[in-house]
Structure 1
């Protein structure tokens, strides 16, 4: 390696998808494997957002704005160091907001059939997101466009298998 060459750095990765797709589990596993910090997007929600979702009401864009801004601040702080954050990032405009100051952001969309995700969501304990909002999330979901840096990863199989596929989908990761 020459004096000016630098080893590849881990990118900042957003693990995205609807509730119950495995964002937290896979995101944590991926961060561990990459040796970078992990942030759970739910931790960035103001209390009013959690109360609204807990009551079975979907968030609107005004509710999401401060949440997305807080996640974007975390992403910018990790630039050059790497990191993984889970975030539903269902709409293109939300992803655009997250990458506004981090153009190299990479999205991993955890995708699977609604029946599988609904079953996983129903089995989940102590989470504020009621399963009744899953349909609204699928309706809001805008898949990654061809010009967005990212990959779709199927959620078939167990967490380690999904994390293996996610890691393989991330470009330029030091292995």
Structure 2
């Protein structure tokens, strides 16, 4: 079984939380019993999370050797031009080593659901949207890559993993793939 879930902002990619006070988890969304996340999405990121009850499938989806493409819409602070995006396309050197080259392009602002809390807005600082596709998945990688090129991430939404896309799935909703 493969489930596509639109993880809301501020939800942990696990079914329990031992912190005090407890944070929202996947347990609150009526997901089928026996599934677990195939990969992760940060607490402060939103969008597509795949869950499965099939360990081999989870491995194929998450193991970097399979180079499964993951596509994100990223709202960044700043006004990116090709010179700023080229390092993302070439691969950025982070503290844990160089990244693989990513597909990166500027896109029009996206019509997404409102985020709670909303992204901060500052009249004097421009922002823009990027579409970034990675074929690896390090911890907070997109945020670290955009920061490395001087474009801090304001909002991060994963819209596709391989050929599975959000396709209008509302935050907190899920469907079988």
Would the TM-score normalized by the shorter structure come out above 0.5?
Answer: no
The structure where strand makes up a greater share of residues is 2
Q: By percentage of residues, which structure has more helix?
A: 1
TM-score between both structures, scaled by the size of structure 1: 0.26
| TM-score scaled by length of structure 2 | 0.26
